[in-house]
Amino acid sequence: MTKAQQAYEQWLQQPHLPEDLRAELERIRGNDGEIEERFGADLDFGTGGLRGVMGAGLNRMNVYTVRRATAGLALHLEERFGEDVAKRGVAIGYDVRHNSATFAEAVALTLAAYSIKAHLFPVVSPTPELSFAVRDLGCAAGVMITASHNPPKYNGYKVYNEHGGQVLEDDARDIKDRMESIQDLFAIPHLPREEAEARGLFAMIPASLRAKYIEAVVSEVRDPRLGDERSRLSIVYTPLHGTGNIPVREALSAAGYKDVHLVEAQVEPDGDFSTVKSPNPEEQEALALGVKLAEEVGAHLVMGNDPDCDRVGIAVRDASGRMQLLTGNQVGALIVHYLCERHRATGGFHLPPIVFKTIVTSDMGKHIAESYGVHVEETLTGFKYIGDRVTRHEADGTYRLLAGYEESYGYLVSPIVRDKDGVQGALVIAEMAAWHLAHGRTLVDVLRSLYEQYGWYGDKLVNVELEGHDGVERMKRALQDLRERPLEVPGLALVAVEDYLERERRFPGTDRAEPLTLPVSDVQKFIFEGGHWAAIRPSGTEPKMKMYFGVRGRNETERDELLDKLVQALTARARME
């Protein structure tokens, strides 16, 4: 009997195994491949925590793997904070996905068994509200049960540090090591809810915290230059069945927006996300019902959040009356321009402003910010790095956040949280649209004027999947081949290669090299003359690579030609053609 089969039998023998999990295990009896897949490996705790398909097994999201991760977190916090962690406690939020509330309570009751107070949200909540709660309540950590925009069968477990940002590599590694030292998932302590409440180790976060969060968002984001102009802006909003419905609507209302139309079919929480193929605002189809409603009511702006409301996608009406979807890079550049103009007009910071972007985000926003004299800092992919830099600059008193953004539709414009925030994002986009509308401009008009001033920037994200049993190995070979033979693009001179795994910037044709100061990450970025670039990174253990492209043309035609040229060159190399 294999190790996986032994684990399978151990699970079946548990007297208190939930009936749905038991039935699931009975259905796969005799299916050696399925048993191996579920029990042959543990669900990995990466830098983002856990994420996986829900179901029975060691390689699945269920109450037992959630308890195990929480036990690892509890041991990590005890080591780091000592006795102080018991009274500081941990804030716990959850989204609309199936089993999210169950998993969140499992986190709370496991923490309680370690004498760590759990502060649990009473209702579904956005990820940024969890970040806010950690900071507002003075917690030692936070846990958010969410799988963002993944398909309905997935759920996840994200860990936040005491500053309200996602934990970085060192903390994640320690939690993982402590979690993996726990072999018997059925022996992990957890208190009955009644006992946890009686001992003061389980408390519901009061509704007043949400009101405080919304008040802080509106206070921080609302443009003091705007007044009744907000009433002219007509908005269509959809939470895509997720957690953004109430917080976003309350923020818009408190700021003064009255003409807000809801996509009624997508308002109610729905873990099946039944009206969309994917609840991902990056995808055109996700906003289709919103665009349809905008056409019916003549709205200027469509906004949609992903299920945990940390990202926002938009469509805007152009001068011809057509609704046009904008990319995350385009919206980020528009936000940076709007906030730089606003800061120059109103000021209000005691420290110099700073803009953050990731290394795979378009350079357009960077060049706009720098033209206003605003400092720009780049981070690795992942908003946890932006949140960490915000915290560090706040601590040493060097800069104050003006904006942080990434190409995947995540924005942050106030440091009241330390993660991307779909509530802040929705409000700042509305404020920006209202400001420009009051001056006779659409966001498409503004974007075109920025292209004409700063250059015609173009960007693209391409996923390359290497199917077959040897997909992972082919992916590794392709990435190694790029390290040994840097990317070549006809007509473009390669001027630098940034290898974040080696933490080195090399200059082809010379012996010169410079150290990179960002943390280690398996990312390669190829920079060409003229500022055009391509970057590639693997997607965990899946046989898939994510490729990012950024160009700057003198006109629209040149931009598109440059982008196509880069995409073709790197795609061919990634597929080992």
Active site residues: 148
Q: What is the Cα–Cα distance from 549 to 491, expressed in whole angstroms?
A: 16
**Cα torsion for 128, 133, 136, 142, to the nearest 10°?**
-100
DSSP assignment of 274-310 equals: TT-S---TTSGGGGHHHHHHHHHHT-SEEEEE-TTSS
* Tokens standing for residue 40: 């042959």
Burial level of 278, CB count in 10 A (0-12/13-18/19+)? middle
Q: Among 36, 48, 30, 44, which Cα is nearest to 3's?
A: 36
Q: What is the DSSP letter of 316?
A: E
Helix axis angle for 422-438 and 245-255, nearest 10°, is: 40
Q: What is the Cα–Cα distance from 468 to 473, expressed in whole angstroms?
A: 10
Q: What is the DSSP letter of 189?
A: -
Residues 6+ apart with CB under 8 A from 407: 327, 328, 329, 332, 358, 360, 361, 362, 459, 461, 548
Q: How many C-beta neighbours within 10 Å does residue 151 have? A: 13
CA separation (Å) from 432 to 112, 154, 186, 340, 421? 45, 35, 52, 12, 16
- Backbone angles phi and psi of 542, in degrees to 5: -75, 150
Q: Which run of H or of E encompasses 314?
A: strand 312-317
Q: Among 504, 483, 507, 512, which Cα is nearest to 496's?
A: 507
CA separation (Å) from 221 to 182, 208, 309, 532? 45, 20, 17, 33
Q: What is the Cα–Cα distance from 558 to 552, expressed in whole angstroms?
A: 8
Q: How many C-beta neighbours within 10 Å does residue 311 have? A: 27
Q: What is the Cα–Cα distance from 75 to 379, expressed in whole angstroms?
A: 30
CA separation (Å) from 239 to 43, 247, 270? 29, 10, 11
Q: What is the Cα–Cα distance from 490 to 564, expressed in whole angstroms?
A: 12
